[in-house]
Homo-oligomer: A and B are copies of this chain.
Amino acid sequence: MKSAQRLLEYASSRGLNACFANPGTSEMHLVAALDAAPGIRPILAIFEGVATGAADGYGRIARTPALTLLHLGPGLGNGLANLHNAKRARTPIVSLIGDHATYHLANDPPLASDIVSIARPVSCWLRTVGRAEDLVAAGADAIDAAMAQGPAALILPADVAWSDGEPTPAANKRTQEDAPSWRGKVDDAARSLGAGAVLLLGGRYLSPRACAAAEAIAQKTGAKAIVETFPARIARGRGRAALSRLPYLSEVAAGTLSGVNAIVLAGAATPVAFFALPGRPTRLAPDDAQILPFATPTDDLDAALEALAEAVGARISQAQSAGDAPSAPDAGDAIDPVALARAVAATLPENAIVSDESNTLGLFTFDVCAGAAAHDWLTLTGGSIGQGLPVATGAAVAAPERRVVALQADGSALYTIQSLWTQAREGLNVTNVILNNGAYAILKLEMMRAGINAQTQAASDLFDLRRPTIDFVQVAAGFGVPGQRVNTQRDLTQALRRSFAQPGPSLIEVMFP
């Protein structure tokens, strides 16, 4: 049996059941092997950034790794930006990256490149497999690493994939887990939490339990519970704690944290600016604030936060802060960010998943959706735009019974717009809400923040997406996804309702004046 087939059978036996693929010649034996692992569903992406971003969305929802299938260094390069985001989210992913046959590399054929150098910055684990007999063991290590840490990259030369080789047994998985390190830190964390302290939340998944525990801790101690700026996944909506997020703009975030005396990190990192600005500090907490690392991003945050709640004597009950359901806007007025937020919050179906890359236009949506039906919210963890549509695509593969809503800025949508085709092909229940203001509006803002107040001609040109206007409805139709353009609040509400009521993907192009 070819080792490629052994690898996929093994992956299937470990519960991996989706492979987001954009294969090439060097992966032909992996493609052939997919038939021998009928438990693994091959899902074609017509661009690798879709495949890696979809694996990220899949992993955040399924909490088990998807496979990706990528073609050599350039294929990995095309998928790199979304692996960067996935690494920041610590999403479990196992990327299978084909390479030339080992004996062919010395010939330096045209597609040869240093795959390891390209892969290392976006991988929590990395290995090039040199012998067929080692492949299954490497696959086992990759899956373990992906589960424990985040994206794993397995580089697979073609001759290793096509060779037969009795596999050396995979190392026994540790059955006895070490006690998590947060256990020894509960008392210190508990002592630090009081008025003037912040419990900063983050990590792979802020579940209903984790958020409820955090809220109870805050109420008991007087500390503020705040979610990191870009959480990988957080449970939200009616009946759940309505925690707020640390603002994106560093000057605003620093204001939120001013006067804070201690920050207990529960899955989050020490808060820093997204970008440095001339003359402004890059660390957001006051210099004299104590920073207490408590739980890491990959820890079991439910357990950690419930233990912390117990230590402070907090009783976890139904969420106190859950918001009220807003009413849907139904006027013929133009759409603005508040109307967008209300329309989404009022119409969101129960148990929806929101993939949020709405940038400037989505400013209010997260907060207003605290009053929406219960849902999960996924954000742009690594700051590399072009994540929203692929993540929505993968989330819909992981949870076919749930409605996925991509709140997607126009400029960012264009990096991975090919996602729409995979959604159409697989009949995924995704509502793609494209927020069209015809500009990289975030960059206009960042230019001012950088102290460049007179916007130059070059900048005006480079931030402008209206010359020519992009027609997202036509692009979507070209990829097989039906779409509609809306200009009024009423039409937006109706379009959302219609989209949520019918299976399969659709696109709503929301025009902002």
Contacts and interface: CB of A to CB of B under 8 A. Distances in A.
Interface of A: 21, 23-26, 28-29, 31-32, 34-35, 42, 44, 46-47, 49, 72-75, 77-78, 80-81, 84-85, 88, 100-101, 103-104, 107-111, 113-115, 117-118, 120-122, 158-159, 162, 230, 269-270, 272-276, 278, 282-283, 381-384, 386, 411, 414-415, 417-418, 421, 424-425, 442-443, 446-447, 450, 452, 456-459, 461-462, 464-465, 467-480
A418 B446 CA distance: 24
Given A77-B118, A113-B121, 7 more contacts: A23-B443, A28-B450, A32-B447, A46-B414, A74-B383, A111-B274, A417-B418
A425 B458 contact: no
Nearest to A426: B467
A272 B107 contact: yes
B282 A103 contact: yes
A118 B122 CA distance: 9
Contact of A382 (B46, B110, B269, B278): B110
Contacts of A382: 74, 110-111
A115 to B, nearest CB: 8
Contact of A272 (B108, B273, B275): B108
Contacts of A272: 104, 107-109
A73 B443 CA distance: 18
A87 B469 CA distance: 34
B275 A26 contact: yes
A459 B32 contact: yes
Contact of A474 (B25, B282, B443, B475): B475
A480 B470 contact: yes
B411 A25 contact: no
Contacts of A469: 480
